Amino acid sequence: MSFETQRFFLERKEGGARFCTLLTPANRKPRGGLLILAPFAEEANKTRRLCLETARTCAAAGWSVLLGDLTACGESAGDFSSTSWSDWLADVADFAGFLREKSDGPLILLGLRLGALLAANAMASGLKADGLFLFCPITNGKQALMQFLRLGAAADLNASEAARIDTRPLRAKLAAGENVEIAGYSLSPALAAGIEATQVTADMSLPAQLAWLEVVSSDPPAATPAVEALTNRLREAGHSLDIRLHRGPAFWQTQEIEQLPELPKEIVALLEKFTEETA
């Protein structure tokens, strides 16, 4: 099925504009709206192509798909060094509002890695959507921030006992209200604090319908102990959770960019099941 692609900038109330790619099915009413939220920093670079492939595959299956670049990310305007987590939450709300106007049917948020944490946080903060699709999600912001800070602390590591990946000097700078420079990004205290404070938990106010796609390397595919524990808690809290395990490499961090042509198809299949249940 064919679709049309539009690229444009969505203005921000505070000034600046966010780059959006909207894919809409041609000559038919969309099944619903799908907002895709990409990962952060280097993971965004590793997954850009997969996000676009996913958007194309979902649009070909009849979805209106919006790929929105967050403020100061991708092609969007903005100064990264003064961007906060709440700016990104506002972006998500704007993207969702825009997509709701453009398409009938259910509105689903699909977040990959940190994008999933952001989507869950947006919904728990009151954003109305019909479903949440967690795609290899980061569920623990504290862990995510620690991993990012380590990038800034790992230079000149050697195999001696004296060599450390010490993130404490970076944390001290953030605590003093200063930005820290990591892997080409100037991380503000507000963004660091926002990431660190966010976690996907079972008592979060999330839609009843959740989909979860995890890519694992084990054969046969098995959820990691961490994923297993959280999905069990979400089910116990009354969520209907459809989890699928796909065998493959950790594509968001592999040194070479992986081709995973089966993944977008898997996403479409999960989405369809998702909407049958919410319809």
CA distance readout (Å), 230 to 96, 226, 227, 278: 26, 6, 5, 22
Nearest to 144 by CA among 41, 248, 240: 41
Q: Which residue, 34 or 263, has its beta carbon nearer to another protein?
A: 263
Q: Which residue, 236 or 256, has its beta carbon nearer to another protein?
A: 256
CB of 258 to another protein, least distance (A): 9
CB of 256 to another protein, least distance (A): 5
Q: Which residue, 1 or 154, has its beta carbon nearer to another protein?
A: 154
Please state whether beta strands 107-112 and 180-182 pair in parallel, antiparallel, or not at all (unpaired): unpaired
Q: How many CB atoms lie within 10 A of CB 61?
A: 20
DSSP string covering 226-264, please?
HHHHHHHHHHHTT-EEEEEEEE---TTT-SSPPP-THHH
Q: Which residue, 229 or 279, has its beta carbon nearer to another protein?
A: 229
Residues at the interface with another protein (CB under 8 A): 142-143, 146-147, 150-151, 154-168, 183, 217-218, 224-226, 229, 249-250, 253-256
CB of 142 to another protein, least distance (A): 8
CB of 71 to another protein, least distance (A): 25
